[in-house]
Every structure is written in C-alpha cells, then in structure tokens.
Structure 1
C-alpha cells in the first residue's frame, strides 16, 4: 500500500499484497459473521483446523511486512523528488488512521489504526543504520513470537519491512535468486517442523470453546507464523521469476495494486452477506469459505477491469489526494 508512481512500481510487491489479501479475508470473515464453532469430527472442524494451520497468523504478517516496505519506499521516493518525505508520510498516516477509525466501527480489531500508530512509532527508524534495524527487528520478532504476542508483532514485522527497503531487497531479486532459493529450503524445513508441532498439539483436542488445547494450538500457530509467512513469500517470489506464472497470476497483481480499496471492501462485502443474505450467526466455517471465494472472484475481476482504465484504485486515489493535498490524474491517457 505504498504511494509509488505508476512507472516506478515494483511488481512483485503488488503480487505479494494481493496474495496476502487472499488469506486475510479467510480469517476475518469468521468473526465478522459470528460463524458457529465447528463440531468435532466434521468437515467443518477439518476446515477450521486447516485455516489455523495454514492461514491464520500467516497472511497478516505478510501484509504488515509489506506495509513496512511501502513505508520506506514512500519516504525515499518523496525525498528523491525534492519533497519532505517524512512530513508527507505523517500526513499519509493521519489519513490512514482516520480511515481506520471509520473501518473499526464495522470491523473491531481491524489493522489500519494499528498500522498508523506503529508507523508513527517507527518513523525515526527510517534513518537508523540498516544492520541495526535488521538485528533489532529479528530479535524483537523472535521474542514476541515466542510469547505469541500477535498484536505487538506488527512493530518488528513493519521494521523488517523498512529494513528490506533499505537493503533494496525487492529491486535486486534477480541478482539473488540462488540465495533466495537456499533461504526457501531452510524456511520449508522450519515450516514443516513448526506445522507438525502445531498439529500434534491439537491431535487429541476437541474444537470447542475455551479449549485449553485449542488455545495452545492457536498460540503455537502465532509463534511459527513469521516462518511460514517467509516461506510463502519466497515461494511466490521464485514462481514470479517465470513469465508463465507472472501471466497466470496477473489478476493477483491488479488485486494487490488496489490493496487499500480491496481490504476495506472485503469488510463491506462480508457485512452485506451477513445482513442482506442472512448469514450473520447462521453460517459455519466451511460455508464462510464459499462466501470468500465469491467475494474474491468479484474483487479480482473488478480490480483487473478498473486498472485497465484508471491509474489508481478509488480509495487509493482519495488517500493520495489527501496526502499530497492535490488531485492526481485518475484516468490513463492511453486506453489498452
């Protein structure tokens, strides 16, 4: 969700943002629709367990990390254009916080207000040495992950995103493919070990409210979340090195370019499904998957079509206009 110019965008970041949004909606929909807790031994229980093994605590970490990358790119590129990047960033964060204040009325526990506060806290780290940021970010991430302090993980994840920007990690991917491949294998081994440990923690547990075993299961998932997320990121980055997967996943790129719009409209669609279609308190977890798929199809198609004609998503345009206090050109000059 960075304000990068149309010709300056780093495509892989858009793919990753889109990928992160795919998982975020799968987790958010359950609480928003007050989905029923699954009965043990059912297909619903099986899906719930898959959700907490492979999705919960994995995709918000990617989204948060990418926000940190966008944080760094926004300030750096504004400074390069002769503007006060940090002052513009503060204004941008204030606008984000205001959007979050509205969003939280419909989605308790939403991320935008937290991102805004974390962004202000981390603003001084923009000028700190990248090695210091890397060490501090990794140590803080490990400690907080061990305590399964999910909400506080935003700080180190965002800081590591800033550090990735300082190292120009995403601008130089093609030069470090071998290193990324080795790192992917390491993360794969750690991911398999972590997921096996998490799965074993719930082997004899029932999926019921206030289950001690299930709370342990969820906590372990939060602890290993950054490792699994790193593996997901590496896999997608490697896949995107081929033109076949870049074309195949191109709707994901459009989806990620409109991440701000799509994130907020995910909530709108879910609330609409709950109130208009009567799903509120009446849906189980497996059924939420079907609703998510319908929403994702609509959003992927809309994002692809919209960006054929316009430079920014609708809410991205508003966010940009309020940040720069000017109306940026919306429509593309040359239509495809």
Structure 2
C-alpha cells in the first residue's frame, strides 16, 4: 500500500500487493461471517485443509513484507525530493492508524493499525546499514515464527521489507532472473518439505481446542515465511513471461488500489451479511463463493477507476492527508490511454 505517482511505481510490487489481497480475504471472511467448522471427510474439510496449508499466514506475511518495502521507498523518495521523509512518514502512518482504528470497529483482526504501530517502532532503524537491518529482521523472524507468536511477526517482516528496499531487490527485476530462479527453486524445495510436514500433522478440524489442532496451527505459523517467500519468487518469475504478465494485468490494478480494496473487502462482506443474514450460516466453500464475487467486482472496478484517475479513492484521501494538499485526481486523456495499455 504505497500510493506514489504512477511513473515512479515498481509494477512488480503492485502485482504482489494484488496477489496478497486475493489470499487475505479468504481467511478474513471465515471469522467475519463465523463460518461453520467442517465435518470430517467432506469437501468442506478438504477446503479447510487447503486454507491452513496454503493460505493462512502466507498472504498476510507478504502484505506485511511489502509494507516494509513501501516504507523504505516512501521515505527515500521524499528525501530525494528535498522533503522531510521521516516527518511525512509519521503523518502517513497516523492517517493509516486512523483508517485502521475505524476498520477495527467492524473487523477486529484488521492489519492497518498494527502496521502503523510497527512503522513507528521501526522508523529509527531506517538510517541503519542494510546488513544490520537484514540481520535483526531475520533473527526476529526466526524467533517469532519458531515460537508461533503471530502478532509480533509483522515487526520482523516489515523490517525485512525495509532491508529489501535498501538492497533495491525489486528494482530491475528482469536483470536478476538467474538469482530469482535459484531463490525460487530453493524455497520451492523448502516449501515442499515444510508443507509435507504440516500436512502430516493435520487433525480433525472439528476438534476445536485440541492439542493436535493447536500444533497444526503452530506449525503453519512457523513455516509461513518460507511458503510466502516461495510465492513471491514464483510470481516474480512468471511475470518475466510477457503473455503471463499481460494476463495478470488486472492484478496490478488491484494492487495499486490496495488500501481501498482491502477496506472494501470488509465492507462487501458485511453488506452481504446484512442483506442475507449470513453470520454463522455458511460453510467454508460458500465463503469461497462470496470471495470470488468480490474478486470480480473489485478487479473490474480497479481497472475502470484507474483508467480515469491517478489514485484509488482512499489512496487519494491518504495522500491528501499526508501532504496536506489536494493532489490532482483525474488524468488527462492521452496519459489515461497510455497508462491503461501499459
């Protein structure tokens, strides 16, 4: 979630943000609508296993990491323009915290306020050497993930994202294809082993509160960063294929409006609940169906909106509150067409 000007954007980060949003809603909707625990040996139980092997803790991890990358890009670009990047960042995370505080009234597990607090804690580390930030971030990640302390993981992930920004890992990704390929292969092997182990620990989902279920969740938290790293590497690698990148273009626009789409995911879920009285009435596969409908709405809306406007609706408000000035929202016809077909 980093509403910078289009000409300065790193497309790969937008694709990753959009990808992360696709996974986050699959988990959030389960708690927001209190989906029923599946019975053993049913299609619903298979989907439950899929969620906790491939989704839970994977996409939130990516989103947290990307916030750290955006953290670095925002301050460094502001400083390069002769502005006080740290001061602007403080104002920026205050606005984010305000969004999060409002969002938490409807979604207690929301992430924005957590990111704002983490950003405040990590801000003093911005000026440290990249090697030091990488080391501290890796140690914190190892400790928090091993202990299964999910609520502290964003601190480590955001710091690692900051270090990734310092290393400029996402600039000129095309020329780093060989390194990216090796990274993806290594994390594919690690992911395969990690998921195999977690799968062998799968309990009966209806045994809420059991020691087996607790350990299954704990293992998921431990291996989450490994699986997330593989997802990131794989997506960056397939984006090197022109036809794939073109087919995934809607994902880029989805990610460019990450703040708007993240908050409106909750809005759409709650609207559906108020209209159809869904709370506690759905199984997991039915929540997937709702998510697919929301995907279509948001992906189409994002593409249409960004054809005519520079920023998403809430991104524009966020930017205005950060810089204390009203940025131009509409884009000129020629620029609009060029950006849309880019």
User: TM-score, normalising length from structure 1?
Assistant: 0.98
Partner residue of 2:340?
none
Please list the CA deviations of residues 179-214 of structure 1 after superposition, one character each: whole Å capped at 9, or x if unmatched: 111111110111011001101011x53533212211
Partner residue of 1:276?
275
8 Å CA contact retained: 2:122, 2:159: yes
Partner residue of 2:318?
319
Quote how far apart the aligned CAs of 1:156 are.
Answer: 0.7
Quote how far apart the aligned CAs of 1:297 are.
Answer: 0.6
Instruction: State how far apart, in whole Å, the 2-side matches of 1:66 and 1:295 are.
Output: 23
**1:276 partner SS:** helix
8 Å CA contact retained: 1:39, 1:208: no
8 Å CA contact retained: 1:177, 1:238: yes
Moved over 4 A (4+): none
The two structures, once aligned, show a CA RMSD in angstroms of 0.9
Quote how far apart the aligned CAs of 1:216 are.
Answer: 1.0
Partner residue of 1:111?
111
Instruction: State how far apart, in whole Å, the 2-side matches of 1:294 and 1:78 are.
Output: 38
Instruction: State how far apart, in whole Å, the 2-side matches of 1:169 and 1:3 are.
Output: 19
1:76 aligned to 2:86?
no
Give runs of aligned pairs for residues 102-141 of structure 1, distance below 5 A: 102-141=102-141
Instruction: State how far apart, in whole Å, the 2-side matches of 1:206 and 1:95 are.
Output: 39
Partner residue of 1:16?
16
Instruction: State how far apart, in whole Å, the 2-side matches of 1:319 and 1:56 are.
Output: 28
Partner residue of 1:186?
186
8 Å CA contact retained: 2:68, 2:161: yes
Instruction: State how far apart, in whole Å, the 2-side matches of 1:281 and 1:75 are.
Output: 44
Partner residue of 1:98?
98
Partner residue of 1:237?
236
Partner residue of 2:285?
286
Partner residue of 2:50?
50
8 Å CA contact retained: 2:92, 2:322: yes
**2:329 partner SS:** coil
8 Å CA contact retained: 2:35, 2:280: yes
**2:7 partner SS:** coil
8 Å CA contact retained: 1:148, 1:219: yes
Quote how far apart the aligned CAs of 1:49 are.
Answer: 0.7
Please list the CA deviations of residues 215-243 of structure 1 after superposition, one character each: whole Å capped at 9, or x if unmatched: 21111011000000000000000011121
**2:215 partner SS:** helix
8 Å CA contact retained: 1:3, 1:70: no
8 Å CA contact retained: 1:40, 1:207: yes
Gaps of 5+ in 1: none
Quote how far apart the aligned CAs of 1:174 are.
Answer: 2.0
Gap change, CA 1:206 and 1:276, over 3 Å in 2: closer
8 Å CA contact retained: 2:3, 2:311: no
**1:176 partner SS:** helix
Partner residue of 1:308?
307
1:295 aligned to 2:294?
yes
User: TM-score, normalising length from structure 2?
Assistant: 0.96
8 Å CA contact retained: 1:258, 1:316: yes
